[in-house]
Structure 1
């Protein structure tokens, strides 16, 4: 195994629901997950490193290097605790993505995880004025649970394969008998565009369904900070992907819908 999961702090975790949001089209999932971590004041409990992550480091605001990592945060709640998986990168190739998702699912099973929600974007050639939100899942009951008039489950023909952790985690969770749903918002597919409107639509849905009591107006206030942080990391990750593509066979495609 090339995926290493380090426990940062111990916590009693009660029948959790995992929400995943990593970089992808419009960074919709990442924006939503980062906002959840801040708004819920969630505490970091796991740090994940992998040889399947980009072979580079980020320079932090102290002028020191940070290895690429993905983190899992914890928010205690009376019935189902919330776990949030957030980060600045995704695994770069198919094998690494499978291995990463399996390693995460091992941890989730240890904590008796009840559901998984993955968040991502659906790329469009133009900026959507009112982004539509779609869902798919590994079983029908979880779709019924999260169904609202704002969430369209008629996704067949709307998107192609859901590439990356956002899709694969849902698929592999079925082998562990963990209900999982992917919630995807329309966004502009330009690499520098941030799908904040789409992220807000997704957050509105899960806020109501999970009773998270989020102040979504605060997302508007944080837009400048989000744009600065996400744009910088996304630009660096995009350069890494382009560099890798030059050295890969023509048939290899490194891209993410999440």
Structure 2
């Protein structure tokens, strides 16, 4: 068994008919960005921290010289609808850690009043898309079809969902509540606020709530500007290499004139 330490930040009464939302680090950090945006926009209140002996054996160092421990955090949101949001700076490292922590997160969600689970994540495609698609996988065909009606797609190739985003669906089903995973297309090698926004757009329709996407749109524009600078730099490098190759070619041709 993997040891999990739970630190209660604030004692609260269970919410009524709440939605459990998971957004931990993963492909493109799509889920984490989306979860943190919900917490920021709806003034989420931290109620619990989890420390697991299967988290990476390290701490992060902040710019002000303080440390940030590896943990998962539970926030509650009361309006516009009751939500329990799971986020954090890491996932468990081993299969047993993933299983045990995912099970515990669902147990905690249900204790706080969750009646359905939505996990959020990225679907790596290895390239940048102007308009990322969102895919859904659910614990029942009925739920999957309901979410599909709001703009999500089914993955034609099937595939798998690794980590908490997948395992929390399994444990939700075992504990008697439904669940679904929303996955936004992402290159996989970049932090992707654009994909997070697309995932939240679908989630907002499913939950029938409004989410201000202004901050995510700003981050997406900043990312686009960063990528454009990279593209220009790569083009300059390519042009420089072409000039060097052309210069070398002319030099070799000139050298040949002196032979014989």
Query: Same fold judged by TM-score > 0.5?
Result: yes
Structure 1 gaps, min length 5: 228-258
- Aligned counterpart, 2:25: 23
Q: What residue in structure 2 maps to residue 155 of structure 1?
A: 155
Q: How many residues align?
A: 222
Judging by fraction of residues, say which structure has more helix.
Answer: 2
Instruction: With the length of structure 2 as denominator, give the TM-score of the two structures.
Output: 0.79
Instruction: Show structure 2 runs of 5+ residues with no match.
Output: 225-260
Give the distance between the partners of 1:54 and 1:62, measured in 2 at CA: 22
Other-structure match for 1:201:
198
* Residue number in structure 1 paired with 2:246: none
| Counterpart-to-counterpart distance in 1, 2:196 and 2:66 | 31
Q: Which residue of 1 aligns with 2:171?
A: 172
CA shift for structure 1 position 224: 8.4
Does the 8 A contact of 2:193 with 2:219 survive in 1? no
The aligned residue for residue 213 of structure 1 is: 210
**Dislocated runs of 4+, deviation >4 Å:** 222-227
Partner of 2:95: 94
User: What's the RMSD between the two structures over aligned residues?
Assistant: 2.1
- Aligned-pair CA distance for 1:37: 0.7
Larger-Rg structure? 2
Instruction: Give me the whole-angstrom Cα distance separating, in 2, the residues matched to 1:225 and 1:179.
Output: 37
State the TM-score, normalized to the length of structure 1.
0.80
CA–CA distance in structure 1, aligned partners of residues 73 and 223 of structure 2: 18
Q: How far apart are the structure 2 equivalents of 1:124 and 1:147? A: 20
Residues of 2 paired with 1:55 and 1:86: CA distance?
A: 19
- Aligned residue in 1 for 2:187: 188
